[in-house]
Structure 1
């Protein structure tokens, strides 16, 4: 498959590129700084999603079978990049007539309100008591701008006419690829705490072969 990867210089994005190349896919990385992916051995397109002209993105995406995006805010100060960047990707995909899009979101988005989803569940019912009432509320309060950005990103997906999938991992680690993880369509996983970036990338590529994941947010955990 011909794949376009956004956010290819980040932890998950680099894993997506490496695994896609290893599986024989034709990969193009769209990044702000090509030097950061110089060692990955793939074609690159230099573009800042928040300022690039739409024609540049359309040209980069044209002829692709699918687009994978690992963009997202690394800090609260970066909040906004996911929603705005994804909106730019969606617009370019429409222009290029490319339909399949897989993005990285986050498990807490399941309980984060947004304009398109104002009344989500307040908590994941199957989580252990201490996680549900102590740990997760603290984490969500501290990282609220990031999760709000990802929730707005998912609004963009739902409002699009694309064949999208949003992968919602729990806390990320740098452990190696296992391919042995749990997924749940439309919800988070009971007791899910961790998953490696490598396994998240594996799940993103796996989604390209799973019609049942189209139009779904997918919880993933080890």
Structure 2
């Protein structure tokens, strides 16, 4: 498949590129500093905080799917980057008639209200007592602006008319790829407190060719 991977030098993005190349896919990697990427992939330099729409359109042109690992390096300081960048990606895909996109979000996002979804459930149905009353309130107190931006990002996809899938992992780790993880549609994973970036990348790639994941939010955890 021809895959365009956005934020290809980030924690999940690097794994996406590595695994996609190992799987024999034709990869175009989009990054602010693509020189940091290994050889063997086509690279396009795009700063998603101030996207060059011509370059972004060229990067997605002819792709079978786009995978976005876009997110802030500092969730407290850089909130807003993901929604702005995703709007640019969606616009480029619409202009180039590319339909399939898989993005990474985060487990605490489900109950965050947005204009298109002003009254979400109070709690994610997959969260147990600890996460509902301790874990989620704590993480939102620390990174509330970031999660609000991810909620807007997800709404952008819902409104896009594209064939989208959202991956919602909990705490990300740098443990190695296992290929063993739990998933659930439209809910978080009960007792799932972490997952490796490598396993998130593995699952994002696996979902590209799964029609049953289109217009679905998928929780993932070890």
Shorter-chain TM band: over 0.9
1:73 is paired with a residue whose SS is: coil
2:141 is paired with a residue whose SS is: helix
| CA deviation profile, 1:34-83 (whole Å, cap 9, x unmatched) | 2221x253111001123233222111111111100000123222111111
- Cα offset for 1:86? 0.4
Correspondence 1:64 to 2:39: no
Q: Is the 8 A contact 1:18 1:40 kept in 2?
A: no
Name the Cα RMSD after superposition.
1.3
In structure 2, what is the equivalent of residue 99 of structure 1?
99
- Cα offset for 1:32? 0.7
TM value normalised by structure 1: 0.95
Tell me which protein shows more helix as a share of its residues: 1
Using the alignment, how far apart are the partners of 1:71 and 1:52 within structure 2? Answer: 13
**What are the within-5 Å matches in structure 2 for residues 22-171 of structure 1?**
22-37=22-37, 39=38, 41-75=40-74, 76-171=76-171
1:28 is paired with a residue whose SS is: strand
Using the alignment, how far apart are the partners of 2:164 and 2:43 within structure 1? Answer: 23
Using the alignment, how far apart are the partners of 1:23 and 1:109 within structure 2? Answer: 31
Q: Is the 8 A contact 1:17 1:40 kept in 2?
A: no
Runs of 4+ in structure 1 off by over 4 angstroms are: none
Runs of at least 5 residues in structure 1 that lack an aligned partner in the other structure: none
- Cα offset for 1:135? 2.5
Q: Is the 8 A contact 2:125 2:188 kept in 1?
A: no
Q: Is the 8 A contact 2:125 2:187 kept in 1?
A: no
Moved more, 102-111 or 122-131: 122-131
TM value normalised by structure 2: 0.95
- Cα offset for 1:119? 1.4
Using the alignment, how far apart are the partners of 2:111 and 2:29 within structure 1? Answer: 32
